[in-house]
């Protein structure tokens, strides 16, 4: 990772429904990447999205963000369980860190069309 890139830890604000931590990779005060995690009940951590700007990919920034979060988790959340939903491209890193695979999921999508509902205005229902 280039030396001029710094990592900033953004602590949970306490003003949101979710208790989120974030780490931001920045260069010259511009965000070029980020990674997050959510603190959940029952001593669970959910590893969330990660992103690196396309002009800065393949420079070790994703790995540095991941390792920074991983170090923080290992220092502050001993005994907790961490989990993540990941793309196939990210799976080798998670397996390297000792994660085990669970069930697979498949992304599906459907455009919602403007069709009349079978329970439209001609169907009166009384409570």
- Tell which wins on pLDDT, 17 or 43: 43
Judge whether residue 122 has pLDDT over 70: no
pTM of the model: 0.77
Whole-angstrom distance, CA of residue 22 vs CA of residue 12: 8
Q: Tell me phi and psi for residue 35, to 5 degrees.
A: -150, 150
Q: Hey, what are 33's tokens? A: 């990447």
**pLDDT tens digits, 69-80:** 999 999 999 999
- Tell which wins on pLDDT, 22 or 105: 22
**pLDDT tens digits, 38-57:** 999 999 999 998 999 999 99
Whole-angstrom distance, CA of residue 49 vs CA of residue 30: 19
- Residue 83, pLDDT score: 93
CA 61 to chain centre: 16
Query: What is the average pLDDT across 10-28?
Result: 88
């Amino acid at each position: 990772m280039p030396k001029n890139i710094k990592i900033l830890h953004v602590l949970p604000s306490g003003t949101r429904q979710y208790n989120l931590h974030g780490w931001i990779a920045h260069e010259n005060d511009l965000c070029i990447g980020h990674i997050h995690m959510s603190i959940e009940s029952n001593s669970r951590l959910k590893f969330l999205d990660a992103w690196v700007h396309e002009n800065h990919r393949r420079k070790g920034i994703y790995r540095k963000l991941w390792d920074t979060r991983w170090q923080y988790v290992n220092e502050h959340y001993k005994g907790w369980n961490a989990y993540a939903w990941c793309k196939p491209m990210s799976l080798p890193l998670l397996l390297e860190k000792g994660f085990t695979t669970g069930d697979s999921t498949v992304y599906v999508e459907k455009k919602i069309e403007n069709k009349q509902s079978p329970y439209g205005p001609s169907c009166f229902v009384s409570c």
